Amino acid sequence: MAAAQPLLEVRDLKVHFFTREGVVRAVDGVDYSVNRAETLGIVGESGSGKTVSSLAMLRLVPPPARTVAGQILFDGEDLLTRTPKQMAALRGRRIAMIFQNPATSLNPIYSIGAQLTEILTWHEKASRRDAEPRVIELLGLVGISDPATRLRQYPHELSGGMRQRIGIARALLCNPSLVLADEPTTALDVTIQAQILELLAELQARFRMSMVLVTHDMGVVARMATRITVMYAGRVCETADAATIFNAPQHPYTRALLESMPRIDHSYAGPARRVLPSIPGRPPNLLNPPSGCRFHDRCPEAQVECRRLLPVETAVAPGHIVSCLRRGSPGIVA
């Protein structure tokens, strides 16, 4: 019996920023997939290409960026070949996005009701009167108190946690098959973060939607993700199921990320305190990326060939992909 086709497949995606100083290779040959009703976590430091690759799926990469190569197959159709009109019909309906900062993604001059009912009037041709009950239902579902009153309020009248809940409701209005969540808890305090993560997990299970969760927080993906893709400097380092990433990581960068997480059984204060490990150095300048492996100048295992050859993704076990010469990946001169 043939395996089910993934809902989303990203193949050799390249997104470059064409600046006066030169070409910034923000995403440089990325591959990953998302199965139906699955949550894929994409992790890595700032500047690794996580958000840019997500924006490319919706064809929303801002100038001077441009998608220069690759395929983004959604339900078997390449989104990069769709017309602007076709993409406008798809955004918000079949693929929706929860943006990192709801304070900037919500329009400050329109009421919450106007912004949310517009989605249903656009995609489902409903009147505003017919759309309001659905909006009120979703606001209640995401934990907004007195949702009918909130329709008349503006974003600045709401707390950060409430704005993020409204952003989640906005993404779910048309029951999308895929939701892209771009660091949805970064701007929130720890208590609200936990509430939002619990809410996302409940809604994902309830609607059986697929989710791409972009974050730099390994704790968030540990709680939410089925599989994890680790990115560094515009490329994929490692992809595997969540248990494998946390219990048997193969790429040195993945291990470094995990080691830099605080542990509850370690003390970082007092006489017996431990020093929290950190990754030495800084991510490379993608305007002029280093030759060979992008991580070699920060890697404790780097050898001479790591400075010359760019590792290619290879399977070290079923479903476990690694890009590291020290783990058997072939290398190419790039």
Residues 33-53: pLDDT tens digits?
A: 999 999 999 999 988 999 999
Please compute the mean of the pLDDT values over residues 260-283 and round it to a whole number.
Answer: 75
Starting at the earlier edge strand, list the strands of the sheet with 235-241: 95-98, 178-182, 210-215, 39-43, 227-232, 235-241, 320-322, 314-317
Instruction: Report the relative pairing of strands 235-241 and 320-322 from DSSP bridges.
Output: antiparallel
What are 3-30's pLDDT values in tens digits? 578 999 999 999 999 999 999 999 999 9
* Candidate CATH numbers 3.40.50.300, 3.40.50.10130, 3.40.50.2020, 1.10.600.10; the one for domain 8-94+174-261+274-333: 3.40.50.300
Nearest alpha carbon to residue 160 among 218, 233, 103 = 103
**Lowest mean pLDDT across 45-49, 100-104, 129-133, 216-220:** 100-104
3-state class (DSSP) for residue 56: helix
> How many Cα atoms sit within 13 Å of 275 on the Cβ side?
3
- Give the Cα separation of 319 and 265 in Å (integer): 31
Q: Note the pLDDT of residue 1.
A: 45
- pTM (two decimals): 0.92
Strand positions, DSSP E, the chain: 8-18, 23-34, 39-43, 65-74, 77-78, 95-98, 178-182, 210-215, 227-232, 235-241, 309-311, 314-317, 320-322, 331-333
Please compute the mean of the pLDDT values over residues 251-275 and round it to a whole number.
Answer: 78
Question: Which whole-number Å values give the CA distances from 144 to 63, 66, 109, 241, in the listed order?
Answer: 36, 38, 21, 33
